[in-house]
Amino acid sequence: MSYVDCFVAAVPSENKEKYIEHAKIASELFKEYGALEVVENWGDDVPEGEVTSLPLAVKAQENEVVVFSWVVWPSKEIRDAGWGAMMEDPRMSPDNNPMPFDGKRLIYGGFNTVLKV
Residue 1 has pLDDT above 90, yes or no: no
CATH code, 59: 3.30.70.100
- Average the pLDDT over 106-115 and give the result: 97
User: What is the SS3 assignment for 4?
Assistant: strand
Rounded to an integer, what distance in angstroms lies between the CA atom of residue 41 and that of residue 8? 10
pLDDT at position 103: 94
Output the pTM of the full model.
0.93
Cβ(100)–Cβ(15) below 8 Å:
yes
117 domain-assigned: no
> CA dihedral in degrees (95, 100, 105, 109; nearest 10)?
-80
Per-residue pLDDT reduced to its tens digit, 9-25: 999 999 999 999 999 99
69: which residues sit within 8 A by CB, 6+ positions away? Answer: 6, 7, 8, 23, 38, 39, 40, 41
How many structural domains are present in the chain? Answer: 1
